[in-house]
Chains A and B, each alone.
Chain A
């Protein structure tokens, strides 16, 4: 049952929190964005006293760091582009997966139109990689810097990620003569504060008329071929590292002590 944890650490040296998260959730694949410290340093701390060791796979992604609890030959680089790292992931059991980790530019550095085009670019890169590996057992995870309802995530020529697995299970739809494959976006189910959980992964108050306050920038998207294996109940936003809160007293990500994003985690069944 491969498990995954993604965290945008916002350039903060949060090794201890990462180690605690890893001890608590045991992710087979730990993906970090904006991690500022030497990866080897963190690797040593992650493996201290642990029987199942993490390794640092090859690849040249600048923004995204991977720590894998598998032999390096089971995690193979496919493509690196700015903010996009695509890897083949071969768990001990279950079929090979295509993992697409992303950290797209923030709204401080890109306009809404920029983000739409970047989503198209990402979709092309995923399609190309799926063609090369010959399957669509694809998981996209990371900081999209867009909410699930924004055009880059929803549009047919963008990521085409829908909130309803029955629609996703149709596989694809044809728009203007082009077949556009679906993703399922389970993050829709975590939006809002039901049961007192965090309403999103990132908090940003705006003074203008339209302010969402909470954003779900950190997401996982699943191709329909993996839907049966996706454990919806495992999907979570982590507001604690297991010992210490990653949130301030107001429940928002504590950007001073930790990161301005909360981590997310999920599992796939074997």
Chain B
């Protein structure tokens, strides 16, 4: 036990003190923050050059009143278009907007003209059209003698409010699904990254030990199983450290940078709306939504989700890292040669990742349910489902199966490992690995 502890300590300390680890651990949150700031600034960005636009309102649709925007000034003019165009440079306007008379109030299309030496930028284009559309609507309501209130009543926003079937179940709000999907997705992705990065790290490190021949010195002091476990636990602790630092630093950096750069959350909301599949919020409700989301976020059963997440994190990590260790022990000096051996491990991980993406959209589909129970997929799929409050028996079954499978795979890998690390110059196939399982010590 003492020796296992020594090995874990070395594996952990040599990694966390390495410059590359410190850089990756600190730079990743910074990169996140930078991305956040840049994205926020991009979405906040509107034309910063100020524009003055002359409006020739032939049909008097605007009734000579229009609100100026920041950086955008309108002026109604009576000068005719020809004069304006010919003396464009003298007038110091950036553009001339011509709104022709409305000939047919029933027309659903109306063309307005914008004269300028430069093309209107997209935001100016959108803003002008939006202004004219609103004004045109009022104009038509008046022309058609409609009742604005009746018109308003035609447009109904439908909200779907999920309600429990019996009184005991907790009442979910309309946001529960979206929040759960978000949390599930983040957890699933973290699991995927952890399994890959740290699993591969274990594999490479086993390989290095084998090719540098230190392994023979080591196992004359400790059992091969201790060496393998020490490495897996040590690297796993490195992973937990990194994820924990990220979990603390990323929110702090995002908070600090949003304060520093004055990015408000509505810009982020707009960003969210650009994402396909995100719920289509009405911008006016943004603030209420944020409050509701925070409420939802708090009401999730974190006392269950977090420990479960850590369990699946450890279970999945041990399961896959031990397999990677076994493969690493079988590889020779040639990385390329052994690469084919990693394929049987990476395929389930990648499959699980895709299933996870489907599972957050349909968390109770039979694919999601059975994948979150199947131990090769559950470490990635189940964390994604946790926020959707899956039935207890499913989680329990998944936990038991994963624990049993992880222990079995660690044992299995230990058997391969102890033979593999002493085997040199042999081309290793899966069949060969199978034989090693049954070697005596």
Q: Are A and B a genuine interacting pair, yes or no?
A: no
